[in-house]
Structure 1
Amino acid sequence: MMSAISLYALAAAVSFYLIYKAQIRLQLSRAKHASLRGHSNWSRRIARLIPFFSYDEAGFFACDGAPLPVVQQRRNALQQLQARTERQCAKTLDHCRSIQNNVSDVKFTSRYRVPFPFSEQLPECFRLGSMAEETRGSQLKDLDGNWRYDLSGSYGVNVFGYDFYKQCLEEGIEKTRALGPVLGIYHPLIAENVEAIRQISGLDEVSFHMSGTEAVMQAVRLARYHSGKTHLVRFCGAYHGWWDGVQPGIGNTRKARDVYTLADLSERSLRILESRNDIACVLINPLQAFHPNSDAPSDTALIASDRANGFDKREYTEWLHRLKAVCDQRGIVLIFDEVFAGFRLAYGGAQEFYGVHADMVTYGKTLGGGLPVGVLAGTHRLMARFKDDQPVNVSFARGTFNSHPYVMGAMSAFLNRIRQAEIQQQYRDSESLWNRRVAQFNHRLRSEKLPLQITNLHSILSVIYTQPSRYNWMFQFYLREAGLELSWTGTGRLIMSYSFSDAEFDDVIQRFVNAAHRMQEGGWWWQSPALTNKAIKRQFLVDMLTARFPALAGRIRGPLIASGRQKRTGRAPDQDQYSSKVG
């Protein structure tokens, strides 16, 4: 029988162990960002609880408590904008309608262009996507012959302008035409491509994949394979592709818990890296410096005017240097995910831009010269897919279309062209050029007294709204009418190519200003003393709660409802209640 002393010692040991585990868990929790983005499990649970609800026609125009004259002003403005859009883009819209129920991506983007309570009342012509049949330089043409400046950037592909990539494609096909789509057998161009990527990345080996997501998947697998550790670290809000392994929050169906989402720019996160023994790698998306600890800005999340982003190069450079030192000390693989920003920030990518050398780097988008590609570069040790002394212990990764000859041809043309003196000079001038252009942009917005500001990381821009509003998401449709093509995420990210001349950029500013004045004339930026960002978000929370729990509708009152707005029923507020707020 165990003695009392032994029992006491066992209880003490168990208590000590439980306290130690609790402290470790608390330390990890404190290193996460305080928002739901930093707590993946809770974000998924709460996402399942948020109900869909839709404002009716009257509520669509008056959910901010606007008076009847402003409501009618908005109604007229939307009808006129719809009529102009249907007339100017008739053929394009017809083609988009023909695929909207048969292409799953189109169904998704059509639903998520604006905050979801407005989507059902939004005219169909604004929910549909775009189609184009021709490009030139910085512009593209839709099926109706409308030319627009491209601010979508083809998700980051278009760094140098469309003519540049069409030339890469033509050169690439010419180089590989004789071989055709032979797979598994390499075209000799692969050797010069690998050598160029090795020189640019400063790393030893290269593997080719079909997408940036695949390249990141391979980097993480190899880091785990060689370290013997289980977990990866990503930073709050960072995007590393759509696969569940690096998307642990909303959108993830994977149950394995082998991802730590930590706060960016955080001392506590560094302490986690210093203290834990299960971390195989850290993923860095250089674009995250533009919006640390926040998701990429999108108009579907424009509930109020509290979008905030901005770039502090000195701060983020210092952070990356400290992060690199900790990773080196702890044997953690530092992976730069340059799929989006690679070959935009500098010739040597984010490594050159920030002056930090990573252990592995992933590329994609523009490196394919216009064709789809993912590339991973790393050290000899990390890139090995087998162990010399364990012949059956391998990390297998092969893809049918990896190293496709046509991709190798277009990539060769791209890599040769960016080595030319003209492009190298563009790289040297680009950061200061785009900062100057954005300063000019903001000066014009201030002089026009518009409630807008532009922020940027290099040639990637974002629109900030400087006064409270529930209707900022409408601005994307005025911009499109003005001849500016945006991606489905709207004004959150404007991706501009190096091909924009100063004159073209001035034209973009003028079109932007014209669109903003039309937005103002439509009454969408109406103001009231009660209309604060805090009040707007509180109102939205009330709307969600009453949609989830209808019985509470008569008990919960948000500040805007208390002012007279009727949720969902859309009963127009009494004009007398707002007469003192009309400006």
Structure 2
Amino acid sequence: MAPSYQKSKEMFEQAQMFIPGGVNSPVRAFKSVGLNPPFIAKANGARMWDVDGNEYIDYVCSWGPLILGHRHPAVMHAIQRCLERGTTYGAPTDLELTLAQMVVEALPSVEMVRMVNSGTEATMSALRLARAYTNRNKIIKFEGNYHGHHDSLLIKAGSGALTHGVPTSPGVPENIAANTINARYNDLELLEKIFSEIGQEVAAVIVEPMAGNMGVVPPAEGFLQGIRKLCDQYGALLIFDEVITGFRLSYGGAQAYYNVMPDLTCLGKIIGGGLPVGAYGGRKEIMQMISPAGPVYQAGTLSGNPLAMTAGIATLEQLQQPGVYQELDRKSALLAQGMAQAAKAAGVEVTFNRVQSLQCCFFTKHQVNDFASASTSNTKHYAIFFKSMLDQGIYLAPAQFEAAFVSLAHSDSDIERTVEAAFNAFKAVAQSQ
């Protein structure tokens, strides 16, 4: 019997009367899979329950922060103790200092860090800082990389390889778009050409060291090293957007995993332990340009919020335990291998990309290494696959070009059940062809 989503459907209809599109972040609307979203009532460990009582094994994990799973006891206990003392003060606390020290000790390139409230705020602030430090205006970003919704980065490529960007959203001024250049992810030759023409005008290159917003796309061998070399050659800063990869690929982030050191690093998700947070950090000489130490202004009433700092500290303490990342990798490999076998048994051609505890199933026979190849994935097939998985109690990202996250809370039996469901879902795709 198919599960009922009636209460969720009614709530979604009501929500659209008061919230644009009925959601507070677009992907939650389930538009790309042609469904109404289930409204979640509660969660624990690797599972969530919606308002209709349907149970799911969750591979979204709030889009990455819940590396320990929902309601981890150590995190919940820490938050409860903090809550008894207050929620926000608008003043310094020892919690900010503790988490800042943990971040600096963990990430090889970070000597100082500023806490903010979201990944978007972190990347926006890092770009402003880079422009001030270099006294330059142009930014290079990569197709398929997402760094938040601020004006400088809601830009798509122009009609030619070296043309300035054009806005992807109404409300973004053309003169801001003109200072953003789009390059192709994993195309070092094109990046070299761009630098040869405008290198002296480039303030920074911002990149997801492992792309997690066009599915999961790892960097090609030498790609990150090549960006680092070009930035050094032309005096531009290299910004790693580690909002997804920070403390996910390793305790030292993608920069430690790939052994490439950026000048600035943007963080979010895991360092808040499930509460809203962001941060940006880097070399001391750069970071000391931020107010009140320097002239670059950035402020936030809730920055360093005690509850978020507490949840982040408790999460990082758990991630310091021996064998944590090996166990995450083992579970993720088990899931990816099982999914690949299920697809093959069902006769469906797919491509799996996996880096540590992140993975993505692309419905294409092509190798996926950039935005163009990711775009060859059959989104209609993904929608069929997604609906079947949801109906079987497996909660995946409601969009083809997102990652699946494995947490420490996922058990081997959860993974086995997921693989069994995947075989049925892949068969549904095969039957639709």
User: What is the TM-score of this pair, normalised by structure 2?
Assistant: 0.84
Q: Distance in 2 between matches of 1:483 and 1:387?
A: 49
Instruction: Report what 1:577 is aligned to.
Output: none
Once the 2 structures are TM-superposed, how far is the Cα of residue 333 of structure 1 from its aligned partner? Answer: 0.8
Instruction: Report what 1:187 is aligned to.
Output: 93
Q: Report the 3-state secondary structure (helix = DSSP H, G, I; strand = E; otherwise coil) of the residue aligned with 2:243.
A: coil
Instruction: Report what 1:336 is aligned to.
Output: 240
- Say if 2:187 is the partner of 1:279: no
Once the 2 structures are TM-superposed, how far is the Cα of residue 274 of structure 1 from its aligned partner? Answer: 5.0
Between the aligned residues of both structures, percent identity stands at 22
Q: Distance in 2 between matches of 1:487 and 1:106?
A: 18
Q: Report the 3-state secondary structure (helix = DSSP H, G, I; strand = E; otherwise coil) of the residue aligned with 1:100.
A: helix
- Say if 2:316 is the partner of 1:415: yes
User: What is the TM-score of this pair, normalised by structure 1?
Assistant: 0.64
One-letter amino acid of the counterpart of residue 150, structure 1: D
Instruction: Report what 1:375 is aligned to.
Output: 279
User: Which residues in structure 2 correspond to 1:66-81 (within 5 Å)?
Assistant: none
Pick closer, same or farther for the CA change 1:466–1:453 going to 2, 3 Å: same
- Say if 2:271 is the partner of 1:360: no
- Say if 2:295 is the partner of 1:394: yes
String of CA shifts for 1:533-579, please: whole Å, max 9, x gaps: xxxxxxxxxxxxxxxxxxxxxxxxxxxxxxxxxxxxxxxxxxxxxxx
Pick closer, same or farther for the CA change 1:146–1:325 going to 2, 3 Å: same
Q: Distance in 2 between matches of 1:110 and 1:200?
A: 32
Instruction: Report what 1:477 is aligned to.
Output: 387
Pick closer, same or farther for the CA change 1:396–1:310 going to 2, 3 Å: closer
One-letter amino acid of the counterpart of residue 476, structure 1: F
One-letter amino acid of the counterpart of residue 314, structure 2: A
* Residues 106 and 129, structure 1, Cα contact 8 Å, conserved in 2: no
Q: Distance in 2 between matches of 1:436 and 1:163?
A: 24
Once the 2 structures are TM-superposed, how far is the Cα of residue 433 of structure 1 from its aligned partner? Answer: 4.9
Q: Distance in 2 between matches of 1:497 and 1:470?
A: 26
String of CA shifts for 1:318-357, please: whole Å, max 9, x gaps: 1111221221232211111011221111110101111111
Pick closer, same or farther for the CA change 1:310–1:229 going to 2, 3 Å: closer
- Say if 2:425 is the partner of 1:515: yes
* Residues 113 and 490, structure 1, Cα contact 8 Å, conserved in 2: no
Larger proportion of helix: 1
* Residues 44 and 70, structure 2, Cα contact 8 Å, conserved in 1: yes
Pick closer, same or farther for the CA change 1:254–1:173 going to 2, 3 Å: farther
**Larger displacement relative to structure 2 (443-452 or 343-352):** 443-452
Instruction: Report what 2:22 is aligned to.
Output: 106
Pick closer, same or farther for the CA change 1:131–1:342 going to 2, 3 Å: same
One-letter amino acid of the counterpart of residue 270, structure 1: E
Pick closer, same or farther for the CA change 1:432–1:270 going to 2, 3 Å: farther
Pick closer, same or farther for the CA change 1:471–1:358 going to 2, 3 Å: closer
Q: Distance in 2 between matches of 1:348 and 1:373?
A: 18
Pick closer, same or farther for the CA change 1:281–1:491 going to 2, 3 Å: closer
- 349, 353, 360: which one aligns with 1:462: 360
Q: Distance in 1 between matches of 2:181 and 2:20?
A: 31
* Residues 172 and 411, structure 1, Cα contact 8 Å, conserved in 2: no
User: Which residues in structure 2 correspond to 1:76-475 (within 5 Å)?
Assistant: 84-85=2-3, 88-106=4-22, 108-109=26-27, 113-114=31-32, 127-164=35-72, 167-175=74-82, 177-183=84-90, 185-202=91-108, 203-249=110-156, 250-251=168-169, 253-255=172-174, 256=176, 257-264=178-185, 265-274=187-196, 276-288=199-211, 296-297=214-215, 311=218, 315-316=220-221, 318-385=222-289, 394-421=295-322, 425-431=323-329, 433-466=331-364, 471-472=380-381, 473-475=383-385
Q: Distance in 2 between matches of 1:340 and 1:412?
A: 17
* Residues 362 and 400, structure 2, Cα contact 8 Å, conserved in 1: no
Pick closer, same or farther for the CA change 1:248–1:449 going to 2, 3 Å: closer
Q: Report the 3-state secondary structure (helix = DSSP H, G, I; strand = E; otherwise coil) of the residue aligned with 2:49.
A: strand
Once the 2 structures are TM-superposed, how far is the Cα of residue 283 of structure 1 from its aligned partner? Answer: 0.5
Q: Report the 3-state secondary structure (helix = DSSP H, G, I; strand = E; otherwise coil) of the residue aligned with 2:18.
A: coil
* Residues 385 and 428, structure 2, Cα contact 8 Å, conserved in 1: no
Once the 2 structures are TM-superposed, how far is the Cα of residue 469 of structure 1 from its aligned partner? Answer: 6.9
String of CA shifts for 1:267-325, please: whole Å, max 9, x gaps: 1312433552111111111232x6xxxx725xxxxxxxxxxx754x6x34x11112212
**Larger displacement relative to structure 2 (331-340 or 454-463):** 454-463
Instruction: Report what 2:369 is aligned to.
Output: none
Q: Distance in 1 between matches of 2:68 and 2:58?
A: 12
Structure 1 unaligned spans of 5+ = 1-82, 116-125, 298-308, 526-583
Pick closer, same or farther for the CA change 1:180–1:358 going to 2, 3 Å: same
Once the 2 structures are TM-superposed, how far is the Cα of residue 484 of structure 1 from its aligned partner? Answer: 1.1
**Larger displacement relative to structure 2 (467-476 or 449-458):** 467-476
Once the 2 structures are TM-superposed, how far is the Cα of residue 379 of structure 1 from its aligned partner? Answer: 1.1
Once the 2 structures are TM-superposed, how far is the Cα of residue 89 of structure 1 from its aligned partner? Answer: 2.3
* Residues 169 and 370, structure 1, Cα contact 8 Å, conserved in 2: no
Q: Report the 3-state secondary structure (helix = DSSP H, G, I; strand = E; otherwise coil) of the residue aligned with 2:122.
A: helix
When the two structures are aligned, how many residues end up with a matched partner?
402
Q: Distance in 1 between matches of 2:354 and 2:144?
A: 18
